[in-house]
Structure 1
């Protein structure tokens, strides 16, 4: 037994040493165009040589941030489980650190290892969410702790998205799985945005009908700025219309965002008007293809959201719906743990897009997804472990006075030497 403890300590020390080593390097962000070029031209060996270094770097960068989390959170059972999963995956990848790739069996083993890692981490989002719930149930959470958890989870989940993207690309391209037609890995170089919108709506509507026995209709309009002959907004799906917009993108990422937004909108509309009515105002989607951005605006008349709650919508510890019951029968399937919107925003920002909400309380809400129209500009947004992020965890939340907020530019202007003199002269004349 003593020998096993010694071997365990040695293995743990070696892992920590390699963790320190790989965390010194920054991740290498790829653009959507690089993903597609690599997928079309690279070999299994090329992918292996890149991933056996890049994946440990991305894992190490986020694993080092675990040490910066509040101690109380680190001791929660679910968080400990997540840390153990990451350690196992990191150790699995170290096996290929310096090995030769001339043997095809090594390449096959590496692909199998990536599949094992992906399956191992499939429930990480909910496991980490459970860890936060455990913390809330056991301890009171102050503003500093909440800010640190929010900061970490944004970075943790973004890191997870990026790692799954790399793993999916490799396993789809070089594994034995079924390849989607005309896709490059999980990327569709001609992603039909309208089709993804309609699929997300149909599945969200199925859930809404299942629970409320009613749902709002969908209206899609589009405007393509690139096509000067079709500047006017048209009803999508009209006879003779061709696909209004396509983009190089990951359909599953776009679907995830849209499905979440449709769920929220449908629930808001039905609950705002009540199930006694026969006709609900439709959920409208405006699709605009610009020169730089592809914009999707989803608008509902579901009663809107008070301004006091807007900032909370992207908080991982907040949800407008009650927490789902264990049986899953007492809460609408359209509602969840409050992670849908913040995760959807991360998917949008992953390739330098964004997701924003605006609302008129008492009327309705607009949700806007921005995507990069050019694949060369759609670069990965990756968290990096460095001194800047370390300071973020150690800096206490500041209490600002009202004039130091974002709108302070409306009240305070910088003065040049000339304007300062004029200002002083004005003060003297006023005081005189």
Structure 2
């Protein structure tokens, strides 16, 4: 491997090849004991593959002089979508197995609660947009308080309005990752712009709009907008003026699950007594102020995978409006054909 010009991508290839060979020889599952052994394999593989994202990102950056940037971005997006497919299937199997093994799974169980019924595997049936925004906003605020250079600076408030009762089924960790990245970007931008001001920083304004097919969240800040030299590369994994800094920062992150759990803050699901913790939870972490330059493109991959969208509009010198459109999972207009094509990659 040391002689390869792209050792990081070679490592990713070998991980997937090893996983394929491991799963290929697993015998047919005919009993609960067989399934438990299979689940042990899944847990080990999920943990082992936490190194995939940072190695993929580093490998793509290292190849930026060998291939056109647009081609590398397509490569990265395709692999990440395929990775989401596989992890969702594995996580869902583990979650459903744990549900089956839980005492409240059976109708006559006295330990069953309404909260237990809110999950189907990893899918949370009652995601509340307001609660997710407020929870992720608090995480972003707490993270900024932890950084030495900003610990004494005032933290911008988060105001939420609109359809505050909007709920929808979704994989909670995916939604929290997207919203968490957007909230952290906004809070950090506002604090940096107003760090020398005697006036309190303006709040982050969030508007929630619910339609029959979608829930749309607009996150608006007055953090000065996105610098002009960064804006053209906002959604790219492989190009931009801060490539070397991103490489150095990625070198400090050996594993990455791309969930908000990496920040070691309990999510609503973890707080509900009796629920399993997914294999992604609390396995990885990174410094809160370490910028990897891939939060936005990763968030867009997650949003688009579930037939949603993520767009940013920047007004240089003023601020940013981020529009996150969430497609309600299970809706009859869900883009099943599109995602099936992605899953087949």
Which consecutive residues of structure 1, in runs of 5 or more, have no partner in the other structure? 1-72, 224-242, 390-432
Distance 1:150 1:364 in 2: 27
Distance 1:304 1:149 in 2: 27
Give matches, 1:90-239, under 5 Å: 90-96=20-26, 99-136=27-64, 140-141=65-66, 144-175=67-98, 181=116, 182-211=118-147, 212-213=150-151, 214=153, 215-223=155-163
Distance 1:319 1:250 in 2: 31
Structure number with higher relative contact order (C-alpha < 8 Å, ≥ 6 residues apart) = 2
1:251 to 151, 172, 175: 172
Shift of 1:111: 1.6
Judged with a 3 Å threshold, the aligned counterparts in structure 2 of structure 1 residues 319 and 193 are, in CA distance, closer, same or farther, namely farther
User: Does the aligned pair in 2 maintain the 1:350–1:382 contact within 8 Å?
Assistant: no
Distance 1:374 1:210 in 2: 35
Distance 1:337 1:156 in 2: 18
Shift of 1:122: 1.3
Shift of 1:196: 1.2
TM-score (norm 2): 0.75
Shift of 1:291: 2.0
Distance 2:54 2:140 in 1: 21
1:102 partner SS:
coil
Give matches, 1:25-424, under 5 Å: 75-96=5-26, 99-136=27-64, 140-141=65-66, 144-175=67-98, 181=116, 182-211=118-147, 212-213=150-151, 214=153, 215-223=155-163, 244-306=165-227, 309-318=230-239, 322-323=245-246, 333-373=288-328, 375-376=330-331, 377-379=333-335, 381=339, 384=342
Match of 2:258 in 1: none
Distance 1:155 1:89 in 2: 19
Q: Deviations over 1:246-305 (max 9, x none)?
A: 001111111000110111111211112224434000001101111221000000001112
User: Does the aligned pair in 2 maintain the 1:111–1:175 contact within 8 Å?
Assistant: no
Q: Deviations over 1:166-201 (max 9, x none)?
A: 111100111489898331111111112211111111
Query: By percentage of residues, which structure has more helix?
Result: 1
1:122 partner SS:
helix
Q: Deviations over 1:365-416 (max 9, x none)?
A: 0001101136223346255599xx9xxxxxxxxxxxxxxxxxxxxxxxxxxx
Over the residues paired in the alignment, what is the CA RMSD in angstroms?
A: 2.9
Distance 1:335 1:364 in 2: 22
User: Does the aligned pair in 2 maintain the 1:319–1:336 contact within 8 Å?
Assistant: no
Which protein is bigger by CA-based radius of gyration? 1
User: Does the aligned pair in 1 maintain the 2:128–2:168 contact within 8 Å?
Assistant: yes
1:91 partner SS:
helix
Q: What is the count of residue pairs matched by the alignment?
A: 287
Q: Deviations over 1:318-357 (max 9, x none)?
A: 56874365679xx983442211000000111111001000
User: Does the aligned pair in 2 maintain the 1:162–1:382 contact within 8 Å?
Assistant: no
TM-score (norm 1): 0.61
Distance 1:282 1:378 in 2: 34
Distance 2:130 2:241 in 1: 29
User: Does the aligned pair in 1 maintain the 2:306–2:329 contact within 8 Å?
Assistant: no
Match of 1:393 in 2: none
Shift of 1:132: 2.7
Q: Deviations over 1:76-95 (max 9, x none)?
A: 11111111100011111111
User: After TM superposition, where is structure 1 displaced by more than 6 Å over at least 4 residues in a row?
Assistant: 176-180
Distance 1:308 1:282 in 2: 26
